[in-house]
Structure 1
Amino acid sequence: MSLIKAVMFDLDGVIVDTSNHHYLSWKKLCLELGYNLTETGNEFIKGLSREDSFLKIADMANINFSEEKFKEYLIKKNSYYLNLINTITPKNILPGVEIFLRYLKKKSIKISLCSSSKNAKLVLKKLNLISFFDFIIDGNDIKMSKPNPEIFLTASKKLKTEPKDCLVFEDSQSGIDAANNAGMIVVGIGNKNKFKNLEYCFPNFLKIPNHLKKRFFNEQV
């Protein structure tokens, strides 16, 4: 029997790299507001909800806004993002993701998407991956952004698994902190030097070593 009962995935930067699409969308909006959002500044909003991302940007840029303008800016950013992701296809799936999803299905391990993006289901459909997921929770379903553990604890409850039996794949510090706060095991995807409070980290799913499969999935290697 597998030690891990459920695996949870972030979307952007883990399954598909749409992080640059988000960055370009925010940058376009920021330029309209007289602020140049740099790639360094963008690191502070990775993993946050659309609302919290703008609040962070507004704080960095000292932007004042009304409630009406706040809603208008969020709609604008989303429209820019949707235009950019229209061209996404299964070719944009990151290395090893689909192979790993098939591996989990074969072992009857529950799979959940846990993304702050409100367009997560649309992206999964474009990638032809939505059928792999037993449960999808996105920015439409939660009140608190990562690093609050709400998104992961909600998924754990829906999948009827204990947090300690869940494995999370994340590519942002806020996501890693959220998984740790939920009491789950977390694996980073990307450059380990970017993260803290992280034991396991790999460049992509093709680089996950056999000993990790043995450790978490009772795989005979």
Structure 2
Amino acid sequence: MTKFAAIKGFVFDLDGVITDTSVFHSQAWHQVADKVGVKWDDTLADALKGISRMDSLNLILAKDHKENDFTEEEKVALATEKNDNYLKLVNQMTPANILPGIQAFLEDLKAQGYLLSLASASKNSPLVLKKLGLSDYFTKSVDPASLKHGKPDPEIFRRGAEILNLDPAACIGVEDAAAGVQSINGAGETSIGIGDPQVLAAADINFTDTAQLTLANIKAALD
């Protein structure tokens, strides 16, 4: 593992690390499920996490054997409606939606001269950052449209180091998902996993929540 003194930059995932938009995805899908007459429950909500838009819609329809009740055009229209619902919710976000401790951590990183980039697969991340008032911290972001592979492939985190002109070994990646931690490790960066240490066992450093994310705690874990 890299020594703390060698770290020059931090590459952040967005969802589950800086803010939590998964609740908005759930609300938006819930509206679609109501519309097509499928009963919404927690099991269905969990099954949709991290799954593409069309796959999510097909899972919802399959729950009540409705997958053949709609044409492809109708399915596309429902998926588009979900995204519109989601964006309406995102537009209501404020700095109050920043996860605990993150604002202070970002301020500390900037004050100490660390370089920051965003490695999010979400095309909506610029809007989310703007609503949170954090755009100034992340002037460097990986463009998800430019990627050939999704997480757990290391491409996104490797690119996150590249846009900072840093060697991956001089970067720490911050993630809340197992696939993301795998991506960081594959890129040759030091990985921090936020969440259940058993799920994120592959991370170099584990914190159960974002409030523990401080330079002092990272230094203690690395040295």
How does the TM-score come out when normalised to structure 1?
0.80
Residues in 1 aligned to 2:94 and 2:143: alpha-carbon distance in whole angstroms: 20
Listed as ranges, the matches of 1:106-145 within 5 Å are 106-145=111-150
1:212 aligns with 2:218: yes
The equivalent residue for 2:88 is 83
Residues in 1 aligned to 2:48 and 2:6: alpha-carbon distance in whole angstroms: 33
CA shift, 1:162, in A, is: 1.7
Instruction: Give the letter for the 1:168 counterpart.
Output: G
Residues in 2 aligned to 1:165 and 1:77: alpha-carbon distance in whole angstroms: 39
The equivalent residue for 2:167 is 162
The equivalent residue for 1:17 is 20
Give the SS at the match of 1:194: coil
Residues in 2 aligned to 1:142 and 1:38: alpha-carbon distance in whole angstroms: 34
Give the SS at the match of 1:28: helix
Instruction: Give the letter for the 1:58 counterpart.
Output: N
Which stretch of the first structure deviates more once superposed, 102-111 or 65-74?
65-74
CA shift, 1:106, in A, is: 1.6
Give the SS at the match of 2:141: strand
The equivalent residue for 1:58 is 58
Query: Structure 2 vs 1, CA of residues 74 and 56 (structure 1 numbering), >3 Å: closer, same or farther?
Result: closer
Q: Residues 12 and 175 of structure 2 are in contact (CA less than 8 Å); yes or no, is this contact kept in structure 1?
A: yes
CA shift, 1:196, in A, is: 3.5
Residues in 1 aligned to 2:162 and 2:76: alpha-carbon distance in whole angstroms: 31
Give the SS at the match of 1:192: coil
Paired residues, number = 214
CA shift, 1:156, in A, is: 1.7
Q: Report percent identity of matched pairs.
A: 35
Query: Structure 2 vs 1, CA of residues 213 and 89 (structure 1 numbering), >3 Å: closer, same or farther?
Result: same
Q: Residues 105 and 213 of structure 2 are in contact (CA less than 8 Å); yes or no, is this contact kept in structure 1?
A: no
Residues in 2 aligned to 1:196 and 1:41: alpha-carbon distance in whole angstroms: 26
Q: Residues 17 and 94 of structure 1 are in contact (CA less than 8 Å); yes or no, is this contact kept in structure 2?
A: yes
Query: Structure 2 vs 1, CA of residues 164 and 47 (structure 1 numbering), >3 Å: closer, same or farther?
Result: farther
Cα displacement string for residues 94-148 of structure 1 (whole angstroms, at most 9, x for unaligned residues) = 1111111111112221101111211111111111110011311254443422222
Residues in 2 aligned to 1:70 and 1:157: alpha-carbon distance in whole angstroms: 38
The equivalent residue for 1:102 is 107
Q: Residues 6 and 170 of structure 2 are in contact (CA less than 8 Å); yes or no, is this contact kept in structure 1?
A: yes
CA shift, 1:201, in A, is: 1.8
Q: Residues 21 and 85 of structure 1 are in contact (CA less than 8 Å); yes or no, is this contact kept in structure 2?
A: yes
The equivalent residue for 1:175 is 180
Structure 1 residue runs without a partner (length 5+): none
The equivalent residue for 1:151 is 156
Residues in 2 aligned to 1:181 and 1:29: alpha-carbon distance in whole angstroms: 37
